[in-house]
Amino acid sequence: MDSLDKNEFIYIRFNIVKWEEGDLLFNGQLCNMIAQQKNQECYYSHFKYPEEALHYFRNNIKENGKRSMAGYQGYCYADRIYFDIDSKSHDEAIVDCRKLIEHLLCLGFLAENLDVWFSGRRGFHIGVSTSPWGLSPDIKFNRWCKEICCEIAEKARVDIDLSIYSKISILRAPFSRHPETGLFKNPIPIESILDCKISGRNILENCRIPIAWTHLPTPSVPSVDLKSRFNKVLKKNLTKGNWPSVVGSESRYPPFDIDWNGIITWPYWNETFFRLAVLAKIKGLSAWDCEQNLRLIRGRNEAFSKGSPVFLDTEIKTIVRSVYQREFSYHVSLKNDPAIKGLIIYPRKGRIS
């Protein structure tokens, strides 16, 4: 899975007006295509695909003679993923959009890396970079994005359209014209959304003509001092004795040691402690009550009992996806961060003193 080159994943263009498929599009080509499609109803694929998807599209012909992506089960990827807010009115949509943006900012997303678009009707598309999530192209990539976005939206108490996370979903292209309203999908400054004085009427007035194309924000990952953050949380919990009661009389000690060359050791094989250790190392949680939100990691007991090292890259990513919304204050790229890449678990005997 990790051997796949993300740069080889490209968009498919769909133009509903002309009912034709152009070709696969890299990011730069997508921008050029959008710039040429002003005043039209234009869509492009929400996700990016390997070249094999183009062959599937060209050969999957429906009874009416038109090509279709229906049934495609291959790999997909996305540099950016979107939340689709579609409320009953423009004013309600602005309120929901504001709530979601404020929550994203609280989670550690950088304002300059968010992009907000008026959908052309009465909703908004809020885009975020997927690079901090550490996900690689995969058959299940769209499902992972759905799980993460759903948890974020639920925590923000905002309803979003989950259908756009279908593998073959398409999105209205930026600056294209909505056929029913005549309004354009234009970018909206985040500052305008956060301004409680703005109304739906203000948004509509700014979307009657297409705004000149600039560029999407460049994704970046906030720098994080994992070691100092973890040590701070560790000291706090040791002082308060907040370790789970299953440790018994030794509840004031964590059941693991941290070696910041990428190795975690501890004396007892315990799934709960393992999950807490990894979460603390990756995200610096401010609490240790995450058990109920985590999936159990199984199948490691035998290897651990034999004293073998256990490599946990896939499991770490699963944990991050499953508890993404829990106490996280920033994002870390799992694939590129040297503090996490190649994390190894070693068994160790004896009590930590």
Span 20-79, pLDDT tens digits: 344 444 444 555 555 565 566 677 778 888 777 777 877 878 777 777 778 888 888 888
Distance, in Å, from the CA atom of 175 to the CA atom of 170, rounded to the nearest integer, reads 15
DSSP of 123-160, one letter per residue?
A: EEEEEEESGGGT---BTTHHHHHHHHHHHHHHHHT---
Q: Do 200 and 236 belong together in one domain?
A: no
- In one-letter notation, the amino acid at residue 178 is H
Placement of tokens 């975690």 in the chain: 264
Number of domain units in the chain? 2
Question: What's the angle, vertex CA 129, arms to CA 330 and CA 10, rounded to 5?
Answer: 155
Contact 281, 307 (CB under 8 A): no
Contact 82, 172 (CB under 8 A): no
Distance, in Å, from the CA atom of 6 to the CA atom of 9, rounded to the nearest integer, reads 5
Tell me which range, 5-14, 201-210, 335-344, is most confidently predicted by mean pLDDT.
201-210
Phi, psi of 300, rounded to the nearest 5 degrees: -110, -10
Contact 348, 175 (CB under 8 A): no
Q: So what's the pLDDT on residue 159?
A: 92
Cα pseudo-dihedral 74, 55, 65, 139, rounded to 10: 10
Contact 326, 154 (CB under 8 A): no
pLDDT digits (tens, 9 = 90+) for 116-159: 888 877 788 999 888 767 677 888 888 888 888 888 888 889 99
Q: Do 34 and 175 belong together in one domain?
A: yes
SS3 10: strand
What the block records as the tokens of 29 is: 């080509």
Q: Do 98 and 189 belong together in one domain?
A: yes
What the block records as the tokens of 149 is: 């976005």
Q: Is residue 102 part of a domain?
A: yes
Question: What's the angle, vertex CA 67, arms to CA 66 and CA 73, rounded to 5?
Answer: 145
Q: Is residue 216 part of a domain?
A: no
User: How sure is the predictor about 226, in pLDDT bands with cuts at 50, 70 and 90?
Assistant: very low
Q: Is residue 352 part of a domain?
A: no
CA-to-CA dists, residue 233 to 165, 243, 259, 275, 276, angstroms = 35, 12, 16, 15, 12
Q: So what's the pLDDT on residue 160?
A: 93
User: How sure is the predictor about 13, in pLDDT bands with cuts at 50, 70 and 90?
Assistant: low
Tell me which range, 10-14, 63-67, 243-247, 329-333, is most confidently predicted by mean pLDDT.
63-67
Q: Do 183 and 249 belong together in one domain?
A: no
Distance, in Å, from the CA atom of 192 to the CA atom of 215, rounded to the nearest integer, reads 19
DSSP of 196-228, one letter per residue?
A: TT--HHHHHHTTSSPPPP--PPPP------HHH
Does the CA dihedral 144-178-69-37 come out positive or negative? Answer: negative
pTM: 0.54
- Domain coverage including residue 274: 226-347
Q: Is residue 221 part of a domain?
A: no
Q: So what's the pLDDT on residue 90?
A: 79
What's 190's domain CATH number? 3.30.70.3300
Q: Do 152 and 78 belong together in one domain?
A: yes
Q: Return mean pLDDT, the chain.
A: 59
SS3 176: coil
Q: So what's the pLDDT on residue 162?
A: 92
Placement of tokens 């949509």 in the chain: 93
Q: So what's the pLDDT on residue 83?
A: 94
Q: Do 234 and 303 belong together in one domain?
A: yes
Q: Do 281 and 197 belong together in one domain?
A: no
Q: So what's the pLDDT on residue 76?
A: 86
Q: Could you give the count of Cα atoms lying within 13 Å of 74 in the half-sphere of its Cβ?
A: 16
Q: Do 180 and 106 belong together in one domain?
A: yes
Q: Do 12 and 58 belong together in one domain?
A: yes
Contact 11, 30 (CB under 8 A): yes
Q: So what's the pLDDT on residue 243?
A: 36
Q: Do 16 and 145 belong together in one domain?
A: yes
Q: Do 191 and 275 belong together in one domain?
A: no
Q: Is residue 135 part of a domain?
A: yes
